[in-house]
Chain A
Amino acid sequence: MTAARFSPMQRLLHWLMAACILAMLFIGVGMVSTLSTRYLALVSIHKPLGIAILLLALLRLGLRLRRGAPPLPSDLPEPMRLAAHVSHVALYGLMIAMPLLGWAMLSAEGYPVVLWQGLRLPPILPQSLEAYALLRQAHGLLGYAFFAVILAHLGAALFHALVRRDGVFEAMAPVPGRALD
């Protein structure tokens, strides 16, 4: 792949999902902190939004495998190259794993997975208290890890955009930036 930038579809998916995933993480951490009536409103967004993220992530993974990504700058130091690779694997893994963990966790609880009134997803695991305990813990801890990886990703993006100015940020920027002039 030698294109300088991600395809318009890849960029659209990236920024759409960035908004969805950030909203999702804030909703998740906010809903478990509240007893107010907002709790139910947040939970009722969390579930369909999670399934939407899962579908978008699968679509995006397919595009990435088919279309690839612009090459990193040749002068990028090896440790940064490795960090870029590992963090992107983590981001794709979490985008797909988190919704599945949430769905599996509710299944193991025997709790109906209602996306909205009348639309219920089938359980993907049999009821098991022990499985629920593990999945619930994983869903929570990986949620925090997801936010940490996103902060690292954002920090790296800004580092490329503001400090290195090497075109990496512009490859995913919604509109062409200065570095491509």
Chain B
Amino acid sequence: MAQPSRPSRFPLGSFVVIAAVLGGGAAAFAYTAGWLSPERLSRERVLAALSPPGGPAPGHRRNHTKGLCFTGSFEANGAGAALSRAPVLAAGRYPVIGRFNLASAVLAQPDGQARVRGLSLSITGPDGSEWRTAMITAPVFPVSNVEAFYALQMAARSKEPGAMGAFAAAHPEIAAFGAWAGSAPWTGSYAEERYNALNAFLFTDAGGRDHAVRWSVRPEARPVPVPHEQLTAKPPDFLNDEIKARIAAGPVRWTMTVTEAGPGDPVADPSKAWPEERRTVEVGTLTAEAVQEEQDGPCRDINYDPTVLPPGMRPSADPFPAARSSAYALSYERRAAEAAAYPHSAPGGRP
């Protein structure tokens, strides 16, 4: 029974205990939140490092900012079932909402100047589970880990003349990316590119065995090399115009391939390619059937978080999918708060 109080005759000590408990709790919370360690690499700092000189475009993604939506299908041939029990790899045809994009945080980026292009996919399997992936044209990622990615952004935006040189000296893994960027032919179409999900994931097959894999989509269209000067002389949106015209004339296809790591292949480092001879399985065909402007398109409100995976697929020791998931969530949160700055052009414009 609650009883008449028998107050402590020496309350000072009790108040000290209470203050210590509450102060300790609040301090532990602040520590966990990172408020006591501003030097820790946070997603806020990564987004700030990606921010272009004039600041981010309100209402838009914080990176891969310029893009175009498409819809289509993924027709799985069933061969992927040998690697993963994901329903989306069982033979069948599944809907796709995708996005062509440039690897740049500048909304007005001229298409001819973006060395790296991207393709994002959301594929919905027969059970309703989703497979989201955001791939790029580079065959390797420039850096090995998230701290190096941040350092690369800081070096790229630095006004110090030797900043990039110093970065490359400290992060020699960037040489493979640099070699590709300097020598790989440019093309005049999103349809002629191969896109690679450079991060490794774990596929689990029906027998419960795990397979470390990376996947790509390879174009059906033959890549036609175009001198870079010709591309920079084109209108700033020529890639968007080209793919709209191409898809209007007929569907555009890629073959999706999944490559399994061999023993000892670097799973946790997307800056290292796996040997060419690794087992590669063609798992299906991606078809882009219609294009929509992003403003009114179905891809606008999708967060292409690479950790949205169906059962039978999960992240591996590669540190990037977790970091991307975290940073993409903040990008989504910010652009959602700015939604009024990027409205649909017409009511009901979105399908």
Contacts and interface: CB of A to CB of B under 8 A. Distances in A.
Interface of A: 2, 4, 25-26, 29-40, 43, 70-75, 109-112, 117-118, 120, 127, 129-130, 132-133, 136-137, 147, 151, 154-155, 158-159, 162-168, 171, 179
Contacts of A162: 8, 11, 14, 17-18
B45 to A, nearest CB: 9
A30 B1 contact: no
B326 A39 contact: yes
Given A136-B336, A158-B17, 15 more contacts: A31-B326, A33-B34, A33-B42, A35-B326, A39-B326, A111-B303, A154-B21, A154-B22, A155-B21, A163-B8, A163-B15, A165-B5, A165-B8, A166-B4, A179-B6
Interface of B: 1-8, 11, 14-15, 17-18, 21-22, 25-26, 28-29, 32-34, 40-43, 46, 128-130, 146, 300-303, 305, 307-308, 311, 314-315, 317, 319, 321-323, 325-327, 329-330, 332-333, 335-337, 339
Closest 8 CB pairs of A and B: A33-B34, A162-B14, A166-B5, A4-B1, A133-B336, A35-B323, A29-B33, A164-B5
Contacts of B303: 109, 111
A172 to B, nearest CB: 11
Contacts of A31: 326
Contacts of A75: 4-5
A133 B337 contact: yes
A130 B2 CA distance: 49
Nearest to A34: B326
B6 A166 contact: yes
Contacts of A171: 2
Contact of A33 (B22, B25, B32): B32
Contacts of A34: 34, 42, 326
A38 B34 CA distance: 14
Contacts of A132: 332, 336
B50 to A, nearest CB: 13
Nearest to B124: A112
Nearest to B350: A127
B29 A25 contact: yes
A179 B4 CA distance: 11
